Amino acid sequence: MRLLTLILAFASLAFASFYSWGAVREVKNCNMNRLTFTMIPKKDIDQQASEYQPLITLLEQGLGMPVELVRATSYESVMDGVLSGGVDLAVMGPASYVIAHRTDPGLDAFASLTTEAGLFTPEGSFYYSLLVVPTAAGINSIEDLRNTRILLTDSSSTSGALIPKNEFATTIGEPFSDFFGANIYAGSHDKALMALLDNKAEAAFVSSSRADEALRRGMIAEDTLTVLWRSVPLHYDPFVFRSGICEDVRSRVINLLTTPSPMLSEYLNTQRAVGINLVTYDDYRAIEAVLNN
């Protein structure tokens, strides 16, 4: 019995060594000695980097090479990274992906998160752009916001700028800039919510998923915000490969993100997600139609 245990242990070690060597060999065949990764900034960048560490560890172990996290300063910098080839893999905003795809159709969206239900967002693969006001302000209609200050997130944010400037403008029947008195870019959804609660503006456009996260973290209570408008459902942020990435690396990454593992579960927990589903560019065509209005 002891001999059998030793044999099984040796076989397990041999398999692990073979797997690691095979991963490195594939990377060399791809002429890649590292993978560069970035994501759109949604909150404090140090906190966001910490939350993505399990994913980075998963990729490093599965690919057998270092994964370098590129700290993006804006949605634009993420687009620039994948379009220039300086970033191999990125989590992009849906609209910024569609915009970048117009420049380079080779950008390959392949996966997105499926999240748990929240107060503002149903469980699944979709979220909303929300127009929110502090409940205590007593603002009850969109018309009450005419000529007031509006908080946006980033100029290339789907729910925090692009959808409001297109779909919301269609809803009110006039140009976005004509309706509001001043547009204030906060830089992220969390910063927009905090600025709203600090009376830096009368209303804000934010992601429903970020509003749910603010509620979970105790930044707001269930009755803190009133929703005056919500967009059509928006597919969650896609994982995107740069053009021309090695097929072996591509297939390994997809396998790592779709195969249950302790490290993947740890990453999903940081995102309040229940899984990852495969997507293609077609899943984001609805956003393209909105942006073309």
Q: What is the pLDDT along the chain (293 residues), one digit of tens a residue?
A: 443 333 334 343 333 333 333 333 345 467 899 999 999 998 888 999 999 999 999 999 999 999 999 999 999 999 999 999 999 999 999 999 999 999 999 999 999 999 999 999 999 999 999 999 999 999 999 999 999 999 999 988 999 999 999 999 999 999 999 999 999 999 999 999 999 999 999 999 999 999 999 999 999 999 999 999 999 999 999 999 999 999 999 999 999 999 999 999 999 999 989 999 999 999 998 888 777 76
Q: What is the pLDDT of residue 289?
A: 76
Sequence letter at residue 28: K
Calpha distance 20→24 (Å, rounded): 6
Q: What is the DSSP string of 227-248?
A: EEEE-S-EEPPEEEEPTT--HH
* Contacts for 214 with CB less than 8 Å, ≥ 6 apart: 190, 193, 220
Sequence letter at residue 247: E
Closest CA to 128 of 258, 293, 290, 269: 290
From residue 264, give the alpha-carbon distance in Å to each of 84, 215, 251: 29, 24, 16
Calpha distance 4→2 (Å, rounded): 5
What single-letter DSSP state applies at residue 134? E
* 112 strand-pairing partners: 238, 277
Query: Domains plus CATH for the chain?
Result: 2-112+235-284 (3.40.190.10), 129-231 (3.40.190.10)
Q: What is the pLDDT of residue 277?
A: 93
Residue identified by tokens 């909150």 is: 43
Cβ-based burial of 233 (10 A; exposed 0-12, middle 13-18, buried ≥19): middle
* Contacts for 143 with CB less than 8 Å, ≥ 6 apart: none
